[in-house]
Structure 1
Amino acid sequence: MTITAAMFDFSGTVFRLEQDESWLADLTDDGGAPLDLEAQTELMRRMTAPVGQVAQFDDEHQHAWENRDLDVDLHRKVYLDVLRQSGVPDLAQREALYQRLIDPAMWTPYPDTEAALKGLAGRGVKVAVISNIAFDIRPAFRARGWDAYVDAFVLSFEVGAIKPQPEIFQAALDQLGVTGPEALMVGDSEEADGGARALGCAFALVDPLPTSERPDALLTALRTHELR
């Protein structure tokens, strides 16, 4: 069946939260010393890992972790705890960093995101962005005028389902008005994004490399599936 729709993950696929040294410059450990580069890198990895548990939690925070992408308050609760366990003991510092992490303006698009979205829209291919997330990512697209190329934003905290649950993919398909075999899912997680295969979607895996190291993975994925 001809593919007439493309669905994209957000983090690590079309945008990436890049490490900004200015965010971390004032962070200090229990002894008041600045976090070293290794600690900073691990902190950012924990905050952006698409799958897998990044820390050990008590029962209360374990519940928050398992449901973080379904509820704004639980997301904040557990990631503040992740930051604490990652060597940021000061609550004010944790709060400040967390607010940056959930600000869509702080996220960097991949070099070919605009070309991929604009090209699909120009060909009449329907586009959705599907994300396990607890904050609104639409402003990142609106700020660049790219929301004009996206037919549906399907966010876990709005639809009450998380990838790889089929319900979140089905919600996107329904909004696009297509069936699974008519859609391609592009994402950086075989486990989460690859769940679209259960509904018959094609799947293309991209590597969540820094944006400077991944110039054209989206265009290559679309070309491979004859969408560009």
Structure 2
Amino acid sequence: MAINAVMFDFSGTLFRLEQNAFWLEGLADADGTALDVEAQTELMRRMTAPVGQVVELDEEHQYAWHQRDRDPELHRKVYLEVLRRSGVPRPEQAEALYRRLITPGEWTPYPDTEAALKAVSGQGRKVGVLSNIAFDIRPAFSQRGWDAHVDEFILSFEVGAIKPELEIFRTALDRLGVRAEETLMVGDSEEADGGARALGCEFALVDPLPTTERPDALLGALRAHGLR
């Protein structure tokens, strides 16, 4: 069956939170030792990992971790704890880093994000952005004029469901007005995004590499499914 709609994940798929030396300037551990490049890189990975627990947590924060993408308050709570356990002991520094994480303008688009969105919408196909996320990512698109190429934003904290739960995929399909069999899901997580296959969607996996190392994976995924 022909593909008439494409649902894109956000983090690691269309956009990526890139390491920025300015953000991490002056960060030091509990002993006052500045975080080296390796520690900074790991810190960024822990802030943006799509699935999988990145640090050990107590029961209270364990619950917040599992529910983080349904509730902005729980998201903030657990990520401040993740930062603390990752070597950022000063609350003001953790708060500053967290604010960067949830500011859409701080996220960097992949080089072919605009082209991929336009390629799908320009041919009259539906476009959805389907994300496990606890903050509004629409400004990342609207500030570039790309929201014109997105029919629906389906965000977990707004719908109360997270990938790979079938409810969030069903919500996306209903809002786009398409059947699963005519829909392609593009994402960087086999576990989360790949859950769309349980409803009959096609699925394309992309690698959440740094943006400079992944110039055209989105366009490649579209071409592989017969979309030009």
**How far has the Cα of 1:105 moved from its partner?**
0.3
Distance in 2 (alpha carbons) for counterparts of 1:91 and 1:178: 46
Taking the aligned partners of 2:100 and 2:51, their CA distance within structure 1 comes to: 21
Residues 122-165 of structure 1, C-alpha deviations (whole Å, 9 max, x = no match): 10010000000000000000000000000000000000000000
Quote the Cα distance in structure 1 between the aligned partners of 2:149 and 2:193.
21
Matching residue of 1:25: 25
- SS state at 1:61 partner: helix
Matches within 5 A, 1:149-228: 149-228=149-228
Shift of 1:227: 1.3
Q: Residue 113 of structure 1 aligns with which residue?
A: 113
* Deviation string, structure 1 residues 177-211 (Cα, Å, up to 9, x no partner): 00100100000000000000011000000000000
Gaps of 5+ in 1: none
TM-score, with length taken from structure 2 = 0.99
Which whole-Å CA distance do the structure 1 matches of 2:11 and 2:145 have between them?
Answer: 19
Whole-Å Cα distance in 1 between the matches of residues 183 and 160 of structure 2? 22
Percent sequence identity over aligned pairs: 73
Q: Secondary structure at the match of 2:6?
A: strand
Cα distance between partner residues in 1 of 2:161 and 2:178: 19
SS of equivalent residue, structure 1 residue 31? coil
Which amino acid letter does the alignment assign opposite residue 171 of structure 2?
A: A
- Corresponding residue of 1:122: 122
Q: Residue in 2 aligned with 1:104?
A: 104
Aligned to 1:83: 83
Secondary structure of residue in 2 paired with 1:69: coil
Q: Give, in whole Å, the separation in 1 of the partners of 2:146 and 2:102.
A: 19
Q: TM-score, normalised by structure 1?
A: 0.99
Mapped partners of 1:75, 1:118: distance in 2: 32
Moved over 2 A (4+): none
